[in-house]
Structure 1
Amino acid sequence: MRQQTAVVIGAGSSGLSMLKTLREDGFKVTCYERRAQVGGLWAYTDDKSMTSALPTTSANISKYTCGMSDFPMPDKYPHYLKQPQFQEYMETYATHFDMLRDIVFNATVKQASRNEDDSKWRLDFVVNGEPRVEEYDKVVFCHGYQTKANMPVFDGAEKFEGEILHSQGFRMSDKYKGKKVVVVGVSSTASDTILALLPVASKVYLSHRRGTLILPKWRNGFPPDLTVTWRRRQIGFALQRAFPNIAKWCLDQGIKYMMKKTWGKLDPAWRLLPPPSLTLTPRALSGDVIPALKDGSLTSLHGIKRFLGPKSIEFADGTILDDIDAVVCATGYKADFSALPFLEKSRPPNYSGPEITRLWMNLFPPNEQHVSMVKSWEYQGFLHAAAGTGMENIGWGWKGWKFWFQDPKMSYMMNNGVETAHAFRIAKRLRALCTSDYGAGEGNLEKLRPAGRLERYFMYCHDLGLYLNVGATGCYSCSNPPSLSLQSVIYAALATVLAQHPVLSTVFVSESSSNVFYSRLPAVDLTHHVDFIQRQQPYDGVGRDIELDELLEKQHNTKFEQKNGATPCWRLMILIDQESPSSGPKFAATYVSHHSISDGMSVIAFHKSFLTALKTASNVPLSSTVITSQNAPMLPSLDTAIKLPISAKYMAKSLYSEVFASRPKGLWTGEPTQVVTATHFQSRVISADRTTAFAAQCKKNDTTVTAALQTLVAATLFELLPLQFTRLNTEVSVSLRRWLKDPIDALSLGMWLATYEDPYERRRQAQGFSWDEARRSRQLALEFLAREGRDSEIGMMRFLPDIESYCKSRIGKKRDKSFEVSSVGVHDHNKEEGDDAKAGIQKGDATGNEWRIGRMIFSQSSHAPASAITVSVVTGADGCCVLGFTWQEGSVSKGMVEKLIDLVPIKILELSGPVS
């Protein structure tokens, strides 16, 4: 029998899954894609005739419900994927299942029609400009409906000298820098456009005629689609069948409640309410723009009435703006069926819009099947019946009861757990996977000690996505090319560091329970922990290192994929500069660690150990990159290293503030806590002479650099925030290792810190930065240090009955800290003193080469329950103070943070005075 042929038009998510399914069903399949790569809308292109997600575009649904059922989303991706990640996912999917051999790229289908003897489908298409004709037995169009821009017509548009374009043609470009732009429409695309414009445009306006849905990406700290279960959906379908009007009312009321609970009272001037019914429109404005509306960087306007002149626009309420440079219309799309001229079109009664293409069940031309009114409950049932994905095993029929009797836990999970496509694959294989004995073999590891309370806190934060890691970067150089390859030198030095720090060979066991302990691995494979990356652009050491910032941001968004008894929670990235024949290698080494095994001082100490190891490295390469773990005890946790006593007065005060005290009026702490969607990171470098001058001014004014920086950040935030915010709370981290006994010292790796709170008020900084405030902050720090760990928030953790529940309870609530300044001080690891001098360590390694470390960068991921913004500070051997700014997407407006990032260095320069 002749093998049937099929053609799939489009290589987006639907096209790829269709290609794979048809191939598995025995068809000889070819896929035509007009782009140069797979991914559909998520494959970014500069071709403005094609609809493309922007690099900043974020998915509307979480990764848990949008992945392919046969290709789970990797853990490394955030909860909501951005365009580059979605494109990477689909490219990996196509490569994994060897689909690329069946896809023809740069192919545009012109027409599909029956051939002369009506035996096959004739396809007319163009590949790289060359017309072609092929015939197939089956044709499936998976080209999407967002292909043809729906462009509005404005009165007087010909008078406007600025740019009027549809969002289909909008791309990230410097052409909008410093310009004033109006975005028309309230949709997800409008949100993407606004968020792309805010960092570059001088002013952005949102023009709309009606209210909109503002669907949150987080509900009580979790993606809302995780609350959708198979059972709830079936109840909803049953209600729609029996009582459609009641079902519509219940859905609309639920959406309104969710909006009110998430956003509170919305400013009536924004005109976002009342929202349309979700049953009538899929359009929704992203909640990510709400902070921009609140801080004034985005202004809501009525719909455009007409254009009056070269830069003048009149809006429906009579408002006239005379300085507009561009108008971007995010006004939707029409499905393009021009390649199917035989399709019937019609207009329903009392409908004045464009003609609607008639497709049965939105899939087939009516001459292929019977016409039917498309209703969601019928549509879903039809799809399951046609695809063979019926869910009778989890229904109320005999098969459902049988399944419940055989496996009640699995039955409950399938009925009431998160509804994903993976449920359609319920079978013996799925059941075996779901009930497998995960973690077998962890009992063979050597048990070291239980995890301390603070360590468990950060384990749970990591597991919940509330705080992922901390890191430090050192810029290394060698006077001459070493005799070994750079890779061999790095591995040899790391082997020495692992021998010095046993914690780097440990893993957590039973991380999800209250009985968490550390175990030692027999060996560590360095190739699993080190990535060597070649710089794409040279960096001259002046100003911000953008390539390094991008690397750090990616690392602070990447979890440690530790499976019990598998890999330690640290990694090292080596960003290598272009080599010069006349000098040795230069690279930036970024050490990133789980916070439970390294605090801020520890990630700095790692570089001291690493530099020492480089200096003493042998010219003989390692025989293996698999390093046997040292049989050495693990350093004690904070709980056992120091008592951290709590006085009755401090306990009473803490309990009162937790239970009875109301939130201070006028306190700004950003948006409520949510599971980290994405951490953003940018650094700023203060030159060595300015750093010295600023430190001298701080000393002259009887304060510290850390206290002055805290005060400066607070003063700058007050400038940027609306006047209604009159208070800021700073979280200050302090290392406790100065009071800890041997064997813990300055070079140890572990978690030994405490925090305290420093409040700021607008009235005390009415004129901007105040040295009096900086002195007050220093005095508060001295008072905390004088307590030597007594009466601290860390000490109160012993009274928490369940740390994991405490972490979860913070999700969805307002945080009580505004920002954090975490300073690890000044570090010149090149100085040969102390332990190095005693050990007789020389400047050169075994081959006489001198290794040095220059600039350092301290960085960390967002700490969602703690502060809205974190400033990490360190001064390296080059004398430059580097400020690392971290913030969580959705917790604070990106525009405001970037203004803060730009203003703080300017103010430091102003305060440092003239440089001699």
Structure 2
Amino acid sequence: MTELKLGNIKSIAVVGGGPCGSAAIKSLLKENAFSRIVGFERRFETGGLWNYSDETSNTQKLPVPSLDPHDPSLLTPFKKPEDGSYIWPSAIYELLDTNVPYQIMEYSGTKFPESSKIFPTKQEVLDYFKEYSKEVEQYIKFGTIVVDVSFFPENENEKWRVTYRKVCDETNGGLEESDLVPDEVEMFDAVLLASGHYDLPYVPDRPGLKEWSAKYPNSVSHAKSFRHARQFKDAKGEILLVGNSASGLDLAYQLATILKRPVYKSARSKSSLPGGSSDFIKTVPDIESLDPETKQVKFVDGTTLDNVEKIIFATGYLRHYPYLKSLNSSDKPLVTNGERIRNLYKQLLSYNYPGLAFICVPRYILPTRVSETQTSWLAKVFTHKIKLPSVEQMEEEENKLLEERGDCPKFHNMMYPEDVLYSRSLNEEIKTVPGWEKTMVPCEWTYEDIQLRASANPLKEAYLKYKELNDGKCVTSVDELENSLGFQYAEVDKSLFGLD
């Protein structure tokens, strides 16, 4: 059996200073066992992708289809003409609110304001994250983009080289090397990647799509460039939205209810996520092909849609880590086609590259809670307080999951109750370490929390219905939904979670 040799870890780099990166830094600091912790964030402030911007010009340059997770030129910052600052437009749109109630989004020891809506708006979420991150800002190099992370196993003490670059005019927003502002290099014992996975849009290929996009520029877009339904108010032809997950459901609902016109939503399968309903939303099957000459879209059941003017792909994102070029070109790549990250124990810790970890890889989890739990667990692994299984056992565990789910994006799915069980299992391992109470204490999953998690979908649907019936008023109390709409919590199997 092969042991994962982590060595003496004292210095740690955290790539990403958003909600997960801030939680990682805070957890590492509270472990009080590391001599140097450095965060790297390309934006100039905390909050990550929750920093909303109306600008979408960089996402409109996306190739159609978009299938290459390794092309660093696909994501570029936008320079604001009014002040010369650089921004990276994110997946956040104007009327976005969360899909889970704020009570189970909270970090340990940091509460949302009592006046918060059950499902907070983007601004409420951003304000919350910024408040939480204040105490770790001094450890983050803002306006800094990581351009390379390389592994040197022969260096027993400092195995990881991180090369980073200032985001400024001289480097064209961090995209180019500059003699005037040269790249900088630091060595670390470990690297935590907390840069998220909502960056590089995935646009699947379909016969005729490339030709369609070339013939009708700006007719094909991705949900990342959606900001408000008003972007499509002048469309004379049909609007086709592709995707039936969280953003697909929400964007279809917004387009239908704001524009008051039919919106066709192409879905491969039934969604397990919440969404508003409207008679204007017309669900159609998956796309088989597109004919740019006639502007007709054909679906897999043989039906067609004529006079299509706008196609919006709400089809998710590719796993994109351009700074891992040397590792991905090795015989043990972490990312190949962008659908999943390979060779991770607990979807977290690399067992091929000692000291490398990915924060919040699973989909459909609660990143705030999970990031604190994961990094508290990692801190104890890095200090050898939690013993890891052999590399062979870790590989066997991943292969078992691979057999169950396949080599595809679903590999990283972790929906309720799996997400709760995952967090609780890490928490239990943390509690085996003497003195764990003096380090980062992740949120516990109480019965009330689990009940909210189990009920998140019907709760969101009731929330949207209440808003529709009350001229846009947002409810702040579950009791109000119970009284006005008869909302009922989902039943929870206490035995599944070891609850009395």
SS of structure 2 residue aligned to 1:76: coil
Report SS of the residue matched to 1:418: helix
Counterpart code for 2:42: R
Q: Partner amino acid for 2:47?
A: G
Deviations 1:403-437 (A, max 9, x none): xxxxxxxxxx986443499xxxxxxxxxxxxxxxx
The answer as to 2:48 corresponding to 1:40 is yes
Match of 2:146 among 105, 109, 114: 109
- Post-superposition CA distance 1:598-642 (Å, at most 9, x none): xxxxxxxxxxxxxxxxxxxxxxxxxxxxxxxxxxxxxxxxxxxxx
Going from structure 1 to structure 2, the CA distance change for 1:318 and 1:679 (only over 3 Å counts) comes to closer
Tell me which residue corresponds to 2:193. 141
3-state secondary structure, aligned to 1:357: coil
Cα gap change, 1:357 to 1:339, in 2 (>3 Å): farther
**Structure 2 residue 266 is matched with structure 1 residue 207:** yes
Equivalent position to 2:346, from 354, 361, 373: 361
Out of 93, 98, 105, the position equivalent to 1:66 is 105
Q: C-alpha offsets along residues 197-222 of structure 1, whole Å, 9 cap, x if unaligned?
A: 33247442101122222xxxxxxxxx
RMSD: 4.0
1:357 maps to a residue whose letter is R
2:284 paired residue among 292, 297, 301: 301
Query: Match of 1:287?
Result: 275
Alpha-carbon distance, 1:316 to partner: 2.4
* Corresponding residue for residue 163 of structure 1: 219
Residue in structure 1 matched with residue 62 of structure 2 by the alignment: none
SS in 2 for 1:299: strand
| Match of residue 318, structure 1, among 281, 297, 302 | 302
Aligned residue pairs total 341
Tell me the residue number matched to 2:174: none
Question: Are residues 102 and 182 of structure 1, via their aligned partners in 2, closer, same or farther at CA, if it must alter by over 3 Å?
Answer: same
Instruction: Map 1:655-804 to 2 at 5 A.
Output: none
Q: Is the 8 A contact 1:184 1:331 kept in 2?
A: yes
TM-score under structure 2 length normalisation: 0.59
Counterparts of 1:303 and 1:359, CA distance in 2 = 32
Going from structure 1 to structure 2, the CA distance change for 1:64 and 1:389 (only over 3 Å counts) comes to farther
Q: What is the alpha-carbon distance in structure 1 between the residues aligned to residue 126 and residue 192 of structure 2?
A: 22
1:813 partnered with 2:500 = no
Amino acid at match of 1:16: S
**Equivalent of residue 233 in structure 2, options 177, 180, 190:** 177
The residue type equivalent to 2:187 in the other structure is E
Check 1:359–1:69 CA distance in 2 against 1; reply closer, same or farther (3 A cut): same
SS where residue 92 of structure 2 aligns? coil
1:123 Cα deviation from its structure 2 partner: 0.4
Displacement of 1:323 in angstroms is 2.1
Structure 2 match to 1:25: 31
Distance in structure 2 (CA, Å) of the matches to 1:183 and 1:335: 22
1:111 to 1:92, Cα distance in 2 relative to 1, 3 A: same
Is the 8 Å Cα contact of residues 64 and 420 (structure 1) preserved in structure 2? Answer: no
Deviations 1:841-873 (A, max 9, x none): xxxxxxxxxxxxxxxxxxxxxxxxxxxxxxxxx
Unpaired runs of 5+ residues, structure 1, are: 214-283, 394-412, 422-670, 684-805, 815-916
* Alpha-carbon distance in structure 2 between the residues aligned to 1:672 and 1:126: 47
Distance 1:389 1:40, change over 3 A: farther
CA displacement, residues 575-610 of structure 1 (integer Å, 9 cap, x when unaligned): xxxxxxxxxxxxxxxxxxxxxxxxxxxxxxxxxxxx
Kept after mapping to 1: 8 A contact 2:253/2:275: no
Matching residue within 12, 37, 52 for 2:18: 12
Distance 1:189 1:301 in 2: 17
1:115-136 C-alpha deviation (Å, 9 max, x unpaired): 5962322101222135322222
Q: Contact 2:202/2:318 (CA < 8 Å) preserved in 1? A: yes
**Secondary structure at 1:384 match in 2:** helix
- Give me the TM-score of the superposition, normalised by structure 1: 0.34
Q: Counterpart of 2:23 in 1: which secondary structure?
A: helix
Q: In structure 2, how many angstroms separate the alpha carbons of the residues matched to 1:77 and 1:69? A: 17
Q: Distance in 1 between matches of 2:44 and 2:470?
A: 30
CA 1:305 to 1:359, structure 2 compared with 1: closer, same or farther past 3 Å? same
- Give matches, 1:592-603, under 5 Å: none
Quick check: 1:313–1:321 contact (8 Å CA) kept in 2? yes
**Are residues 1:81 and 2:120 paired?**
yes
Q: Which amino acid aligns with 1:69?
A: S
Q: Could you tell me which residue of structure 2 aligns to residue 125 of structure 1?
A: 164
Calculate percent identity across the aligned residue pairs: 21
For 1:384, the equivalent position in structure 2 comes to: 427
Residue equivalent to 2:327: 342
Q: Structure 1 674/40 Cα, relative in aligned 2: closer, same or farther at 3 Å?
A: closer
Contact 1:675 1:811 in 2 (8 A): no
Q: Which of 1 and 2 has higher RCO (CA within 8 Å, sep 6+)? A: 2
**Which string of whole-angstrom CA distances, capped at 9 and with x for unpartnered residues, describes residues 364-406 of structure 1?**
211336224157598546522554489xx9xxxxxxxxxxxxx
Whole-angstrom distance in 2 between the partners of 1:202 and 1:808: 29
